[in-house]
Structure 1
Amino acid sequence: MSVEIRRGTAPLVVSFPHTGTDLPAEIEAGFVSPWLARRDADWWIDRLYDFAGDLGATTVRTTVSRSVIDVNRDPSGASLYPGQATTELCPTTSFDGGPLYRVGCQPDGDEIARRRSLWFDPYHEAIAAELARLRKEHSRVVLYDAHSIRSHIPRLFEGELPQFNIGTFSGASCDPALAGAVEAECVASGMGHVLDGRFKGGWTTRHYGRPLDGIHAIQMELAMRGYMAEPGMPAPDIWPTPLDPEIAAPLRATLIRILEACTAFALKDVL
């Protein structure tokens, strides 16, 4: 199975769309290299949040690499960030703009549809089912979409990315009280944050965030420097670097408080 689900009873679902590194053999052969096809993963994020189950959260993760199919992109192929550099549903370039596929091996329409059926649809069916299950027991449920990215990627953003990048689709995907509670924990950390900056929330946040129906979705994009050493430019002999518990400790402490704040928001009486 390409989807891993760990069920909890708290009104909180934590999703991991980009931690997978699986490359099916018939697809791997078409990539420039397996290392490049895995390079832009959200490295170690599922391990960084390994406390989520202890808080009662449900977690949903795909094991498939985002280079095979990106489960956080609009399945119609529409860009989430018109006019800005981004990657596609089935990415053909890396974050830095280099080709992922050997000449003539890029997926065509039929192949993209096949990948969607095999990996995209099951992942989102799982998220939808878990939200529906929890919504039966709670008047509000939070979907927290967990991400990370290198701190410096000139093609995607200028300068150094803030440590915490909160995305709410400009306030449309969740109640302002939830965004405020998460932002308050980021402020208290002193590590730097932005609300609805470069990363306003991917397709998952935008698709499921329906505050009036009791589903509040929020994305958290972390700069990787908060939990691992980052080289100037990744290379096969130095990337990925391991998750560093000492570096990660302050970040993990704040993330625990953030998920606790998400749950507290969901459990608060709706006025």
Structure 2
Amino acid sequence: MTHSPADLFAPAFQIHEPAALATPLVFNSPHSGRIYPDSFVAASRLDALTLRRSEDTFVDELFAEVVGRGAPLMTAHFPRAYLDVNREPYELDPRMFDGRLPAYANTRSMRVAGGLGTIARIVGDAQEIYARRLPVDEALQRIDQIYKPYHRALDKLLQRSLRRFGTVLLVDCHSMPTGVANRDDHSRADVVIGDRYGSSAAGLFADVIEHELYTRGYVVARNKPYAGGFITEHYGDPAGGCHAIQIEICRGLYMDERKFTRTANFARVSQDLMAVADALIREIDLYRSAGRLAAE
């Protein structure tokens, strides 16, 4: 029996709502999904453990306590290796599919060329996922049944906070393999903050995150090598009241990257990230107050 993409996960994502919406912060963990359907693994040339190398394991759990602080947290159940919602809806590599892609598909982006389009061709160190080409119809079903509902739900959360508070800050939560942030220089980065070089959020929000982490002993970089993906770029509109910022956390800080298990440091990292969340809540309240005073 063939199952539709939506049926494989049921539900494909979850919104953890606070008892009362108390702050204009929205947290999103789009790559933390860790359900790998048998049919997906069977279609792959890789085993399930190798497929997990592109997963932001436990990131949703690191940020789980934001819900108790009055902010919603959206989390994916589907894995990034199956579908990446941090891409344009149709960033697709024609070499991966049997059949003709729609004319509006973006087949020439840098991300497609690198094998990391909306439906990824590779995981980890350029390891090919699929044993054979996928039917185009299957790719379009994944986008129609999972990608589009995900973004409709995320946009709805942002618009709700924008109406309620007059502004909103989307915090897009990710992780990175140990060593990735060190390729361009000789420094060691524990966390990379991405705000599209200041275009997706007011700079003070990145300042607050960097300060809170620095005082707790973390090495923090900005925009290199991660400036923020499609989500940060697409939703970040500071002039319209919607700020978006991406946080990439080194996995080695909180998990065993080979065994996919939490380490003893997990609780401390989560606690430190909640201190960041508390600081952002305070900062955005000040930001809103300053905006009201300026309007008066």
Q: TM-score range by the shorter chain?
A: 0.7 to 0.9
Whether 2:248 is the aligned partner of 1:221: answer yes
Which residue of 137, 149, 171 maps to 1:110?
137
CA contact (8 A) 1:87 1:93 kept: yes
Q: How far apart are residue 153 of structure 1 and its match?
A: 4.8
Higher relative contact order, chain-length normalized (CA < 8 Å, sep 6+): 1
Q: How far apart are residue 35 of structure 1 and its match?
A: 2.4
Residue 99 of structure 2 corresponds to none
Counterpart CA distance in 1 for 2:163 and 2:109 is 31
Q: How far apart are residue 28 of structure 1 and its match?
A: 2.9
Q: Which has the larger radius of gyration?
A: 2
CA contact (8 A) 1:14 1:143 kept: yes
State the Cα deviation string for residues 197-247 of structure 1 (Å, max 9, x = none). Answer: 1011011111111111111100000001111234xxx3xxxx21x212x31
Judging changes above 3 Å, is the alpha-carbon distance between structure 1 residues 94 and 190 closer, same or farther for their aligned structure 2 residues?
same
Residue 78 of structure 2 corresponds to 64
Residue 156 of structure 2 corresponds to 129
Judging changes above 3 Å, is the alpha-carbon distance between structure 1 residues 80 and 179 closer, same or farther for their aligned structure 2 residues?
farther
**Matched residues, percent identical?**
25
- With normalisation by structure 1, the TM-score equals 0.87
State the Cα deviation string for residues 27-81 of structure 1 (Å, max 9, x = none). Answer: 3321122222223211111111121111111011110011110111122315776
Q: How far apart are residue 177 of structure 1 and its match?
A: 1.3
Matches within 5 A, 1:1-271: 1-8=11-18, 9=21, 10-32=23-45, 33-77=47-91, 85=114, 87-102=116-131, 104=132, 106-153=133-180, 162-230=189-257, 234=258, 239-240=259-260, 242-244=261-263, 246-268=264-286, 269=289, 270=291, 271=294
Amino acid at match of 1:127: L
Q: How far apart are residue 85 of structure 1 and its match?
A: 4.5
Counterpart CA distance in 2 for 1:54 and 1:80 is 39
Deviates more, 1:58-67 or 1:71-80: 71-80
Residue 6 of structure 2 corresponds to none
CA contact (8 A) 2:111 2:117 kept: no
SS in 1 for 2:256: coil
Give the gaps of 5 or more residues in structure 1: none
Residue 8 of structure 2 corresponds to none
Amino acid at match of 2:27: V
Judging changes above 3 Å, is the alpha-carbon distance between structure 1 residues 171 and 155 closer, same or farther for their aligned structure 2 residues?
closer
Deviates more, 1:71-80 or 1:147-156: 147-156
Counterpart CA distance in 2 for 1:159 and 1:83 is 28
Judging changes above 3 Å, is the alpha-carbon distance between structure 1 residues 82 and 123 closer, same or farther for their aligned structure 2 residues?
closer
SS in 1 for 2:127: coil
Amino acid at match of 1:75: P
Q: Cα RMSD (Å) of the superposition?
A: 2.4
CA contact (8 A) 2:181 2:225 kept: no
How many residue pairs match? The answer is 260
